[in-house]
Structure 1
C-alpha cells in the first residue's frame, strides 16, 4: 500500500512539473524588435509609446508602438541557445508578423569601421563543424565533406545545419537567408539615414567616445554567428576568406534559423562595436558598444517607420 502511494505521489509530481500549453499574451499583430542585452535594449525602450510589460521565464516583453507601428520589444539574452530559445518563445506567445533584430557586432571585413551598420542578407553558424583527426596523411574528417562547403580552419571542417520548414524539405544549409523583401526595404530606407559619430549630443566631455569619421551602412552581405566572443585577427581573416563574412556576432544565425523554421520574415541590423581582433590595440567593445547600439537603433527606427501598416 505504501509503495502504491509513493508511486502515485511521484507521478503526480512529474505531471505537476509539465508546463501548461503556452498561451498567447497579446493578439495584436506585431513586429518583434529584438535585442540581445541591455545597451541594445536601452537604445530602443524609451522610444516605445504606451508600453505594457509582460514577463515570461525571466524575460521582459514590452508591447506598444515604435514609430507608430505595433511592436513587442525584447532582449533575447546573449549567445546562440538563448537567442534560439527566446525567439521561439516570442513566436509562441505573441502574434508576430516579422522579426527585426537590433544589436552590436564585431567587424570582419577590414574595409568596415567601428560604428558602421551592417544588414546581412544571410547568416551562417561558423562553429557548426566536424573536428577532424590528425594523422600522418593529414586531417581525417569523421563524415563526408560537401564539395561546396567553406574551407576548413585546421581541424574544424564546416558541416552546415540541417533544417527545413513547412514549405521546404530538410536539407543542409551553410547559410540561412533572411527575408529578401525586408532586405530590399532596408536598401531604400538606409540610403537616407545618417549615423552618429558620438553616442550623445553635447560637448566632447559629455558625448562619450566619438569616431573620427561618420559611420556608413552596408546592406546585402554575409554575417556569421557562434557562441564565441571572437577577438582573434587570424581567425577573423579565415572567416572573411572562407565564409565571405563581413560581420560576426553571437545570436543572429540562431534567430534566422528559428525564423526560417517558422516561416516568419526576419532581418538583422548590426552596428560594429569592435573589429573582432582587427583593432590596432585592445578590443574596443566596451568603449563603443553604447554608440554602436544607438546607431543600430537609429537605423531600426527608420526601418520600422517604413514598414507597411
Structure 2
C-alpha cells in the first residue's frame, strides 16, 4: 500500500482526464487488476488520479480500489454534467452540497390511484414519483455508525467552505474549435446533485428530477463516489461543469459540442481548489 498521504482526483472518461493529466508532475503509473492510476504532484499537492470509466458501478469500484491501495486524505470527482436547474447555463461549474442516487427506485405496482410501493417497504422516502418510478433510499453505514436508509450523501463541510471561498476564477467561454458561448460561465456552490446509470436527455424527466430532488446537476458517477467516501469516512466533494441541459436544449443534445469546454472549466476550478485547500 502506498503510504504517502494523497488527494484522490477522479474523472469518468478521457475528455475529463486529459484536462488534468498533463498538469501532473513527477508522474508514476500504477495498475491493479482493473484499476489504472497515476500518482504525482498537482498544484504542489501529492495526488493520485484515476479514470473510473462511466457510470455508477465503475465509479464505486474505482473509488474503493483507490481507498484500498492509497493513503487518501480527500476525494474529489471532477468532470462534466447535465444541467437541471433552469438558472444554470452551459459552461457553469457547480459544487453541490449533497448527492443522491436518483434511480435508486421502486417500480411501483399499478393500482387504481396510480402506482404504489409494497406496504412492507417502509423505508422509502416521501418524494414524488415519475410514473411507476418511486424514489427509494440506499442502506449504508460506516465503521462508526450502523447502516440506515438515506437518500443524501453530504459533501465534506470544510471542503465545501473552501469552495465557497474561491474567487475570481476565470472560466472559458470558447470551445477548442472556436465556438463561443453567449454568456460568461459562472462557478456556483451549494444545492444538490444527482447521479444514476442513465444518461438524461429528456426534458420531462429533467423537470421531474429538478423538482423532486431540487437537484441542480445530473451525472453518472458522483453519488456513487460519495457513497463509498461516506462508508470509508473520507472527505468528499465533486465539481461538475455543464456540457448540456439534459434534454432542455431547443434542438439536439449539445454534450459533444461543449464537452471539452466543460471539462476544462471543471479542471480550472479543481486546480484553484487544490491551491486553496489547507
User: Partner of 1:107 in structure 2?
Assistant: 83
User: Partner of 1:217 in structure 2?
Assistant: 187
Distance 1:285 1:144, change over 3 A: same
User: Partner of 1:237 in structure 2?
Assistant: 207
Partners of 1:265 and 1:35 in 2: CA distance = 17
Aligned counterpart for 1:162 among listed residues 139, 149, 153: 139
Shift of 1:167: 2.3
User: Partner of 1:121 in structure 2?
Assistant: 97
User: Partner of 1:19 in structure 2?
Assistant: none
Shift of 1:147: 8.1
Partners of 2:36 and 2:61 in 1: CA distance = 14
Taking the TM superposition and a 5 Å limit, the aligned residue runs for 1:194-273 are 194-200=170-176, 207-273=177-243
Partners of 1:265 and 1:150 in 2: CA distance = 28
Shift of 1:297: 0.3
User: Partner of 2:25 in structure 1?
Assistant: 49
Shift of 1:144: 3.7
Shift of 1:139: 1.9
Give the total of aligned pairs.
277
Distance 1:147 1:63, change over 3 A: closer
Partners of 1:198 and 1:36 in 2: CA distance = 22
- Kindly provide the CA deviation profile for residues 102-160 of structure 1, in whole angstroms up to 9, marking residues without a partner as x: 10000001110000001011000111111111123432312445585221111111111
> 2:165 is paired with a residue of what secondary structure?
helix
Aligned counterpart for 2:154 among listed residues 177, 182, 192: 177
> 2:246 is paired with a residue of what secondary structure?
coil
Pair 1:64-2:34 in alignment: no
TM-score w.r.t. the length of structure 1 is 0.87
**Aligned 8 A contact 1:34 1:74 in 2:** yes
Which piece of structure 1 moves more, 94-103 or 129-138?
129-138
> 1:27 is paired with a residue of what secondary structure?
strand
**Aligned 8 A contact 1:145 1:159 in 2:** no
Partners of 2:124 and 2:51 in 1: CA distance = 38
Larger Rg: 1
> 2:144 is paired with a residue of what secondary structure?
coil
Question: Considering only aligned residues, what root-mean-square deviation do their CA atoms show, in Å?
Answer: 1.3
The answer to which structure has the higher helix fraction is 1
Partners of 2:124 and 2:271 in 1: CA distance = 41
**Aligned 8 A contact 2:125 2:151 in 1:** no
Unpaired segments ≥5 residues, structure 1: 1-23, 201-206
Partners of 1:65 and 1:296 in 2: CA distance = 18
**Aligned 8 A contact 1:125 1:253 in 2:** yes
- Kindly provide the CA deviation profile for residues 34-58 of structure 1, in whole angstroms up to 9, marking residues without a partner as x: 1110000000001001111111224
Partners of 1:259 and 1:159 in 2: CA distance = 20
Shift of 1:65: 0.5
Partners of 2:36 and 2:200 in 1: CA distance = 28
Unpaired segments ≥5 residues, structure 2: none
- Kindly provide the CA deviation profile for residues 83-104 of structure 1, in whole angstroms up to 9, marking residues without a partner as x: 0011000000111001011100
**Aligned 8 A contact 1:199 1:294 in 2:** no
User: Partner of 1:79 in structure 2?
Assistant: 55
